[in-house]
Structure 1
Amino acid sequence: MRISTLTIFNQSVGSLNQQQARFNDVSQQIASGRRVTSPSDDPQAAARAVGVSQSLAVTEQYTDSRVSARNSLSQGESVLNSVSDAITSAKTLLVQASNGTLSDADRQSVASELSGIYETLLGQANATDGNGTYLFGGYSDSSAPFVKGNGGEVEYVGDSEVRRQRIDASRLMEVSDSGQAIFQSVPGGAGHVAAAEAGNAGGVTFSGPQVLDDEAVDADQPYTITFTGDEASGFTYEVLNGDGDRVADGAYSPGEEGTRIAFEGLSMELDGQPVDGDSIAVKPADQGNTDLFTTLENAISVLESPAGTEAERAVLGNTLSTSMRELDNSLDNVLTVRASMGARLNELDVVDGVSSNRTLNYEQTRSDLVDLDYAAAISEYSLRQVGLQASQQTFANMKGMSLFQYL
């Protein structure tokens, strides 16, 4: 069978081109560091690699989300640390103001310091993250959540909902807390708070209430202690619960300092002489005044007022006693929210660790699918280079095989 010179030439060129293409493929793999440089190299691996890359991109998005969440929580926790310090300072001032030897001028000086703390707390309640976003306004984070009304009282105008952010596929985390929950709430189990009624004209003062028996206390039940009688015939008291049922009564002797009365697991220390009809309200903390700013406003107001008569001194003592109890509850509430923020920051650290391991797994899987084994690639590179050189040499030799050379 006769083989034409053209056929031999075409076959040699085809073999040469094939070897050159294989050599170029290996060279490209080594240059890029990837075994699969195009989907046609390994369609199945390329398809799986796309899915892994998408999962890796989603994981990175969650990582960015956690960075944002951590910044927000860290700033909020820092502000609440300052708030707790301010409340502690306010309570210290109220203890100082409770000293009976202070004059009206001394108490006004304390009131001035307390006003400074009040303004500081208001500023912290309206704190921003540095970009103009208010930390404690919920979803209404573009305007100050706390404003002063026409009467000078502080009102919350923010949103009761809190901002949430997805930090992982299965976790939607609260990245802020409502200012209402921080500055106008008390923690669960805060107990009862006593307050003298505004119309009292006598000089009776109180401390407490104290818990005598946890099991006997109804945490949701309010009480009212009412005094009847006069100095000549003597005084009595009765304690009514929120349903109007009498739960305790007895004689009250103003001359006996520190008279203790007990009712349904609670006790109160009473002192001073009442006037017929005077009363003291004992309410669960969440049913009474839960507003930190109102507490300070009441304390500042009573400190700025004179306390020359027995009734005025009673108002002073009772208001300060109530305010200190309310400040304790407010401080407990702030610390509870701050602890919650700390727990969420710790959770972010845990999720970061899990996410890092997941990222490493994705990267390893993608690498196994498309990345190059350099040892194997270099060996194949050498083999393809030898094959290409052999094809080139063969083509050179075959090109000279022609009958025309013998004519």
Structure 2
Amino acid sequence: MRISTLTMFESSLSTMNRQQSDFMKVGQQIASGRRVVNPSDDPQAASRAVGVSQSMAVAQQYADARITARNALSQEESVLNSASDSIASAKRLIVQAANGTLSDADRASAASELQGIYENLLGQANVTNGNGSYLFGGHKDDAPPFVKGADGRVIYQGASAVRGQQVDSSRQMPVGDTGSDVFTSVHSGAGYVAQAQRADGSQNQGSVVFTGPTRVDASDPGYGKTYTLHFTASDKYQILDENNAPISIDMDNDGTPESEFDYVPGKKVSYGGISITLEGTPAVDDEIVMAKAQDQNIFTTLENAIASLNTTTDTDSAKAALQNTLSTVNRQLDNGLDNVLTVRASVGARLNELDTLDAVGSNRKVNYEQTMSDLVDLDYAQAISDYTLRQVGLQASQKTFVDMQSMSLFDQL
């Protein structure tokens, strides 16, 4: 085999270039802190690292979404807290106004104060977030959800559904509540509400006032139905069912059902798992309707209270109407406050869920980072050892090349 001088030089140069390439590769790994700098370094690890990197990016998007959801829910929780304080203040004012010793001027002053609470509550219902979107408008968040109609009463014009935020791979969370859910609904456990008025909707003409109704037995077969106490005389009444038909009851336990009963002021009337106490003297055709609490507009409730407080009470029937209205309003405000607190509890539960998802997301992020580290990160101790070894190899190849430069086959002739 013939070995030329050119062959020896090319072989030495090739060896030196290879040693220098290996040396620079290790140096690049140390500088970047990564074992896999280029996909060709470890194709399988590089491919898996791409998948893990994508998963980490998606997890970060969910984390950012949770921040957005938390900000929205935190603001809602703050507004609901203020709303519950406003309703509680209105309740205290209604209780004070129900005092029979107050004059018409005193009640007018209470009505003025209640008007301020009403306007404040309306402002809370139409509050906006940092982006100018209405908090309780649902999907229709570009316009006030609560507006005053032609008759001056507040109505809800927002959407019936809210936007959802994808806060995790399998969880889309509502990031708000509609105004109808907060201010025009009652919670599922709300009891009975009584209302004193005639069948045609006009005011009772007598002086009868009620206290209650009170739940006696929720397991009664008739509990939950609507009943009407209809006065056929000043000392007689009937209990009407939902179809306004008289109900026959053996009230005296003498074995004879009756459909008309004696009215005794101060005596409780019990039927269908509820009881109500009546005082005063009714007029013929006066009625008291007792029904399970239905969805109610809390603004309408306050409007009725303000109107009643501004009404002159110069007759016994007017005084009775005021007392009955305030009693109904008080029960409705109870239900409204309970509903706001229920929604607020729901918001708190969602905030707690976000905390849990954050904890899970943090653990998942740690796992992703550990997997990524195992795939592409550098073992510095091994890398420094390799760096030193490659440096020695490069130096040896360089010295060999220098020595080869002074050699020639002619020296062997």
Question: Normalising by structure 1, what TM-score?
Answer: 0.95
**Correspondence 1:339 to 2:340:** no
Which of 197, 211, 215 matches 1:211? 215
In structure 2, the residue matched to 1:311 is 317
Q: How many residues of Structure 1 are paired with residues of Structure 2 in the alignment?
A: 398
- Offset at 1:90? 0.3
Equivalent in the alignment of 2:368: 362
Structure 2 distance, partners of 1:179, 1:219, is: 30
Match of 2:332 in 1: 326
CA distance, structure 1, for counterparts of residue 233 and residue 298 of structure 2: 36
1:271 corresponds to 2:273: no
User: Could you tell me which residue of structure 2 aligns to residue 259 of structure 1?
Assistant: 267
The answer for the alignment partner of 1:246 in structure 2 is 247
Secondary structure of 1:364 counterpart: helix
- Structure 1 segments, 4+ long, off by >2 Å, are 217-220, 403-407
Measure, in 1, the Cα distance between the counterparts of 2:65 and 2:238. 59
Amino acid paired to 1:246? I
Residue 231 of structure 2: which of 205, 227, 230 is its match?
Answer: 227
Q: CA deviation at 1:220?
A: 3.5
1:173–1:245 Cα change, 3 Å: farther
TM-superposed deviation, 1:218 = 4.1
The residue that corresponds to 1:120 in the other structure is 120
Instruction: Determine the structure 2 residue equivalent to 1:202.
Output: 206
Quote the Cα distance in structure 2 between the aligned partners of 1:100 and 1:321. Answer: 13
**Quick check: 1:241–1:247 contact (8 Å CA) kept in 2?**
no
Task: Note the C-alpha offset of 1:259.
Answer: 2.3
Structure 1: distance between partners of 2:215 and 2:288:
17
Structure-1 residue corresponding to 2:293: 285
Please report how far the alpha carbon of residue 219 of structure 1 lies from its aligned counterpart in structure 2 after TM superposition. 4.7
Distance, in Å, in 1 between the alignment partners of 2:83 and 2:409 is 103
Stretch deviating more after TM superposition (36-45 or 126-135) = 126-135
Structure 2 equivalent of residue 14 of structure 1: 14
TM superposition shift of 1:264: 1.3
> Counterparts of 1:208 and 1:122 in 2: how far apart (Å)?
29
Q: Do 2:146 and 2:158's aligned partners in 1 also have CA atoms closer than 8 Å?
A: yes
How far the C-alpha of 1:261 sits from its partner, in A, is 0.7
Report the AA paired with residue 399 of structure 2: Q
1:29-74 deviations in Å (ceiling 9; x for gaps): 0000010011000000000000000000000000000000000000
Unaligned runs of 5+ in 1: none
Give the whole-Å Cα distance in 2 for the aligned partners of 1:305 and 1:202. Answer: 17
Per-residue deviation at 1:203?
1.0
Cα drift, residue 403 of structure 1: 4.1
Report what 2:255 is aligned to.
none
Distance 2:49 2:275 in 1: 72
Paired amino acid for 2:7: T
Asked whether 1:393 is paired with 2:396, we answer no
- CA distance in 2 between counterparts of 1:220 and 1:236 reads 25
Range moving further from structure 2, 215-224 or 76-85? 215-224
Q: Distance in 1 between matches of 2:405 and 2:223?
A: 106
Tell me which residue corresponds to 1:111.
Answer: 111
- 1:24-103 alignment, distance < 5 Å: 24-103=24-103
Task: State how far apart, in whole Å, the 2-side matches of 1:76 and 1:142 are.
Answer: 17
Structure 2 contact 228–241 (Cα < 8 Å) conserved: yes
Q: Percent identity?
A: 59
1:281 CA displacement: 0.8
CA distance in structure 2 between the aligned counterparts of 1:132 and 1:391, rounded to whole angstroms: 71
The CA distance in 2 between the partners of 1:395 and 1:21, in whole Å, is 16
Say whether the 8 Å CA contact 1:110–1:303 is kept in structure 2. Answer: yes
Deviations 1:180-218 (A, max 9, x none): 011000000201100011421111110110111121164
Q: Which residue does 2:175 correspond to in 1?
A: 175
- For the 8 Å contact 2:5–2:409, the answer to whether it is kept is no
CA RMSD of aligned residues (A): 1.3
**Letter aligned with residue 148 of structure 2:** K
SS in 1 for 2:282: coil
Give CA deviations for 1:219-262 in whole Å, capped at 9, x if unaligned.
531111100124xxxx2111112143515541013xx4x22111
CA apart distance, 1:163: 1.5
Take 1:270 and 1:184, find their aligned partners in 2: how far apart are those partners? 29
2:137 and 2:398 mapped to 1: Cα distance? 77
Structure-2 separation of matches of 1:391 and 1:247 = 115
Alpha-carbon distance, 1:138 to partner: 0.5
Taking structure 1 as reference, are residues 335 and 250 closer, same or farther at Cα in structure 2, changes over 3 Å only? same
C-alpha contact 1:136 1:176 (8 A) present in aligned 2: yes
TM-aligned CA deviation for residue 404 of structure 1:
4.8
Amino acid at match of 2:379: D
Q: Secondary structure at the match of 2:231?
A: strand
Q: Distance in 2 between matches of 1:42 and 1:178?
A: 54
Q: CA deviation at 1:130?
A: 2.4
Give 2:408's match in structure 1, choosing from 391, 402, 406.
Answer: 402
Counterpart residue number, 1:353: 359
Normalising by structure 2, we get a TM-score of: 0.94
Query: Higher mean Cα deviation, 242-251 or 200-209?
Result: 242-251
Unmatched runs of 5 consecutive residues or more in structure 2: 250-259
